[in-house]
Amino acid sequence: MGGRSSSCLGTSYGDRRDRNFIGYGARPPDAQWPGRARVAVSLVLNVEEGSEQTVVRGDRVNEHVYDMIDAVDGAPNPTMESHFDYGPRAGYWRIVRVLERHGAVCTLNACAEALALSPWLGRDALGRGHEISCHGYRWLSSKGMSEADEREWIHRAVKTIADACGVRPVGWHTRCPHTPNTRRLLIEEGGFVYDSDAYDDDLPYLVEAGDRQHVVLPYSLDTNDMRFQRPEAGFVRAGDFADYVIDAFDWLWDEGATTPKMMTIGLHIRTIGRPGRIAGLDRVLRHVRDKGGAWIARRDQIARHWLAVHGRS
């Protein structure tokens, strides 16, 4: 160590007792997916439009991520807002038509405020057999929130979605990072079956929640269309997205001969819904369908299956 003091090395391992580096180890459980599928495929369609930061509604800054990287703070940025507006106006319809063509269901990972502004979108998705999960009240992280504020944030999000769409979400996914309190507060709120505030496995897992168990469905940032907006290590053409996602699926499919796995494909209505990108999703779904051995399911279906098969009796 060259005699360096511990202060040069950052936080010591003793301060991170909550981390689990073992997981299922060398012998993951048999998922027992319906139909003995090798891979459970979860399509997650993020709906954030209208809940992003904008000074028009009193935020300190405008959103400036992904395609809209120019920071215009202190004044309205209608260009940024127009970029987000593409999702519900055009992208959503293109995506659901592709899903319908392949008989695929998805989970809408929706910010509550986005659905309050476009309740028709949530109701249309429900009518097509999709699920609505909660992506927070707004497209913001809960980092820095007090426990009381985060508890109210969760409660307000649940009520807003229920009021807008007539359903109570049973799933949750924070715009990262979440806080050390998030999962406990979700469990205390009641009604949640699962959350996706983890990126650490290829299978669901269970955590104790008093007299019941709560499911964690890990999310993925690599098999995700957000990489179209990260040119330094991302996708450019529709085929880049398709090739990467298909490579991931094929590898899990091979592993699934003995140890079935789960795969999440992250989508955004303003991103994959563009005409130059949507063919990538179409190609992925065609490949998954033609290869067979996949269960394309909503996240609530996957979570309830995991509880039924692997939860304590």
Q: Is residue 249 part of a domain?
A: yes
CB 196 within 8 A of CB 219: yes
Q: Is residue 87 part of a domain?
A: yes
pLDDT band at 282 (very low <50, low <70, confident <90, very high): very high
CB within 8 A of 107, min separation 6: which ones? 42, 43, 44, 45, 130, 131, 132, 133, 171, 298, 299, 300
Kindly report the average pLDDT of the chain as a whole number.
90
CB 133 within 8 A of CB 110: yes
Average pLDDT over residues 19-25: 93
Q: How many domains does the chain have?
A: 1
* Residues present in the chain in total: 313
Q: What is the pLDDT of residue 138?
A: 83
Q: What is the pLDDT of residue 301?
A: 98
Q: Is residue 213 part of a domain?
A: yes
What is the CATH classification number for the domain harbouring 187? 3.20.20.370
Tell me what percent of the residues of the chain surpass a pLDDT of 70: 90
- Give the tens place of pLDDT for each residue, 34-91: 999 999 999 999 999 987 877 787 777 877 765 655 666 678 777 788 888 999 999 9
Q: Is the pLDDT of residue 297 over 90?
A: yes
Q: Is residue 194 part of a domain?
A: yes
Q: Is residue 25 part of a domain?
A: no
Q: Is the pLDDT of residue 10 over 60?
A: no
The reply to whether the predicted model has a pTM over 0.85 is yes
Q: Is residue 154 part of a domain?
A: yes
Peptide bond preceding 177 in cis form (omega within 30 of 0): yes
Q: What is the pLDDT of residue 11?
A: 43
- Give the tens place of pLDDT for each residue, 227-245: 998 766 689 999 999 999 9
Average pLDDT over residues 196-207: 97
Q: What is the pLDDT of residue 80?
A: 81
Q: Is residue 291 part of a domain?
A: yes
Average pLDDT over residues 13-37: 86
Q: Is residue 145 part of a domain?
A: yes
Q: Which residues form the domain of 133?
A: 31-310
